[in-house]
Amino acid sequence: MKLKSIRLIKKYFWQLGIALAILASIAIYAIAPALTQQPVVLNLLMTAPDAQPWQQGIVKDFETKYPGIRINVIEGPNATNLLEDLYTSAFILGDSPYDLVNMDVIWTPKFAAAGWLKDLSNEFSAEELAVFSPNDIEGSRYEGKLYRVPIRSDAGVLYYRQDLLSAAGYQPPETFDELLQISQALQKKNKDTWGYLWQGRQYEGLVAMFVEVLEGYGGFWVNPTTKEVGLDQPETIQAIEFLRNTVKTGVSPPGVTTYQEEETRRIFQSGKAVFLRSWPYVWPLANEDSSPIKGRIGIKPMVSAPGKSAGTCLGGWGLGIAKSSPHQKEAMTAIRYFTSNEAQRNFILKAGYVPSRRELFNDAEIVAKYSYYPQLLNIVGSSVLRPAIAQYAQASDILQRYLSAALTNSLTPEQAMKAAAKETRLLLGKK
Ligand code: GLC
């Protein structure tokens, strides 16, 4: 009896073993190609706050749709100029790890002139490009060729506390003087409240904010066609005096000259300021359930001097392809997907950024969430590109340094701008 059962176990043991072996070989046959075919990984560097909505949203959607491609989002510093430095040094040193280039609108001329980017002109037809805001496309070209496709637009706007203004019977301001007057009046009524917040730190955000004030006074920085420099003109001095006055009169905090976008947003969002100059990304955050100013804010174009038009700085980000990338085809697939209507809708709905595709500003679902988007389309439409010159980074650095010196009182506005104009003319080969 014992012997018989041992023999049975042996018999079935062998049968079971053979069956398992067959199953395993089928499984290996089926799985092996998937195991050996590693997905192509596309590296993409962006600012840390940008990385989150990318990773949580459109990157996942893309990878589901294209399982053979992975997007490796690398989180970089939260300042466009620092991010640009990282890309620049990687390209200069050669052997750059980046396949896709997430580019601020101001980088196009420099990156294109340096030969770091693939020319995308033949990849997108005129009809395909016509769906984007013309400003964003203009900021994506260099010497007539296309080097980036806009993924999100941006434009400087003025936020105001609708509740505080209405309670005191004020309309939102239209001029610089009104902005100061309303600030002071509301600061008297509301203890521990600043009037106006702006980005005053020495970095690219300072320049983006300043070009709006400069334009509001009728001045200019650099004419990209003639390379004429307007920094030592009286309008530039008036623009700086306005900003200095905001601090002198206590309308803006003394620390404003050290603030980037996020510092100003946090103060505004905590309910401690009447006005804020920033980008549209602030809106969804300031309207979160946990925000003390939820439902209490308005948004409008920047103010100007009487009779002058309001300046709006065009910002925004787009994707280019590094010429050095070994994955040109996959990078193109990624750009096409990320700039598609489907991806942009999801991205905008989740992240609250400004669409680059014009039809999305009036999309029902988007407008239901961000009611001011139709109005924003006009603001973006009238926004102005910072000078599209290959030496932009150096020109901006000169302005940042001297503007900061004037705002922190280490030079008078006249001294600072005389020197800034001289250095800029030297840079651009103008006498
Ligand atoms: C935003 C804009 C960008 C600008 C930057 C300045 O990210 O989109 O164009 O250069 O702010 O801080």
CA of 46 to the centre of ligand 1 (A): 12
- Looking at the fold, whether 61 and 82 belong to one and the same domain comes out as yes
Residue 122 within any structural domain of the chain: yes
- What's the CA gap between 402 and 22, in Å, rounded? 76
Cα 353 from chain centre: 8
- The pLDDT-based confidence of 430 (bands split at 50, 70, 90) is confident
* 17 inside domain: no
Query: Is the distance from CB of 74 to CB of 44 less than 8 angstroms?
Result: yes
Q: Which of 309, 157, 305 is nearest to 234 (CA)?
A: 305
Contact 291, 285 (CB under 8 A): yes
Q: Tens digit of pLDDT for each residue in 3-54?
A: 555 555 555 555 555 445 544 544 444 454 455 579 999 999 999 988 988 9
Could you tell me if the CB of 154 is within 6 A of ligand 1? Answer: yes
Alpha carbon distance 282, 205 (integer Å): 15
- 345 in a domain, yes or no? yes
Give domain status of residue 348, yes or no: yes
Centroid of ligand 1 to alpha carbon of 95 (angstroms): 27
* Residue 249: inside a domain: yes
Q: Is the CB of 105 under 6 A from ligand 1?
A: yes
State the pairing for strand pair 194-197/273-278. Answer: parallel
Q: Is 105 left (phi over 0), alpha (psi -120 to 50) or beta?
A: alpha
Using most ligand atoms within 8 A of CB, pick from 133, 138, 204, 385 the residue to mutate for ligand 1.
204
| pLDDT, tens digit (0-9, with 9 covering 90-100), for 293-327 | 999 999 999 999 999 999 999 999 999 999 999 99
Q: What are the pLDDT digits (tens) for 259-270? A: 999 999 999 999
In the reported structure, the alpha carbon of residue 315 is separated from the centroid of ligand 1 by a whole-number distance in angstroms of 5
Q: Give yes or no: residues 228 and 285 share one domain.
A: yes
Calculate mean pLDDT across residues 410-416.
Answer: 98
What are 120-137's pLDDT values in tens digits?
A: 999 999 999 999 999 999
Residue 317 CA to ligand 1 center (angstroms) comes to 8
Q: Is 208 in the pocket of ligand 1 (CB under 6 A)?
A: yes
Indicate whether 393 pLDDT > 70: yes
* 103 falls within a domain: yes
Closest CA to ligand 1's atom 4? 315
| Minimum-distance ligand 1 atom for the alpha carbon of 199 | 12
Single-letter residue type at 295: G
pLDDT given for residue 29 in this prediction? 43
Q: How many domains does the chain have?
A: 2
204 lines ligand 1 (CB under 6 A): yes
Helices of type H across 151-223: 162-167, 176-189, 204-216
Domain membership flag for residue 114: yes
Q: Which pLDDT value is given to residue 215? A: 97
* Residue 194 and residue 172 in one domain: yes
Nearest to 71 by CA among 323, 318, 327, 316: 327
Structural domain boundaries, residue 378: 40-154+314-384
State how far Cα 140 lies from the chain centre: 14
Position 352 scores a pLDDT of 85
Position of tokens 């296309």?
146
Closest residue CA from atom 3 of ligand 1:
315
pLDDT tens, position by position, 340-376: 999 999 999 988 899 999 999 999 999 999 988 999 9
- In angstroms, the CA 207 to CA 217 distance is 15
Residues 250, 358 within the same domain: no
CA distance 283 to 157: 10
Question: What is the predicted pLDDT for the residue at 9?
Answer: 52
**How many Å separate Cα 170 from the centre of its chain?**
32
pLDDT of residue 5: 55
- 276 plus 347 within the same structural domain: no
Q: Are residues 90 and 165 in the same domain?
A: no
Question: Does residue 156 carry a pLDDT above 70?
Answer: yes
Same domain, 139 and 239: no
Give the tokens for residue 50.
């940008």
Compute the distance between CA of residue 347 and CA of residue 360 in angstroms, rounded to an integer. Answer: 11
- Asked whether residue 33 is assigned to any structural domain, the reply reads no
Q: 272 and 209 share a domain? A: yes
The chain-wide mean pLDDT, for the chain, equals: 92
| Alpha carbons 81 and 85: distance in angstroms, whole number | 6
Instruction: State CA 356 to chain mean position distance.
Output: 11
At 194, which CATH number? 3.40.190.10
Q: What is the pLDDT of residue 351?
A: 85
The response to whether residue 50 sits with its C-beta less than 6 Å from ligand 1 reads no
Do 325 and 300 have their domain in common? Answer: no
Q: What is the pLDDT of residues 226-275, one digit of tens each?
A: 999 999 999 999 999 999 999 999 999 999 999 999 999 999 999 999 99
The verdict on the CB of residue 104 being under 6 Å from ligand 1 is yes
CA distance 174 to 309: 10
- Indicate which residue's Cα is closest to atom 9 of ligand 1: 315
Ligand 1 atom nearest 314 alpha carbon: 9
Report the alpha-carbon angle 315-320-323, nearest 5.
145
Considering only residues 431 and 73, tell me which one the structure prediction assigns the higher pLDDT: 73
Question: Is the pLDDT at 392 greater than 70, yes or no?
Answer: yes
- Alpha helix (H) ranges present in 224-363? 234-248, 261-269, 282-286, 328-338, 341-351
> Percent of the chain, pLDDT > 90?
87
CA angle at 203 for the pair 161 and 404, rounded to the nearest 5°: 85
pLDDT for res 33: 44
Determine the distance separating the centroid of ligand 1 and the alpha carbon of 246, expressed in angstroms: 23
CB atoms within 10 A of CB 374: 13
Ligand 1 within 6 A of 279 CB?
yes
CA of residue 279 to ligand 1 center, whole Å: 8
Ligand 1 atom 1 nearest Cα: 315
Say yes or no: CB of residue 315 within 6 Å of ligand 1.
yes
Instruction: Answer yes or no: do 185 and 299 share one domain.
Output: yes
Task: Examine the domain organization and report whether 364 and 398 are in the same domain.
Answer: no
**First and final C-alpha spacing in the chain:** 111
334 token code pair: 């990624």
CA–centroid distance, 160 to ligand 1, in Å, is 20
Do 124 and 159 share a structural domain? no
pLDDT, average across residues 402-427: 98
Residue 46 near ligand 1, beta carbon < 6 Å: no
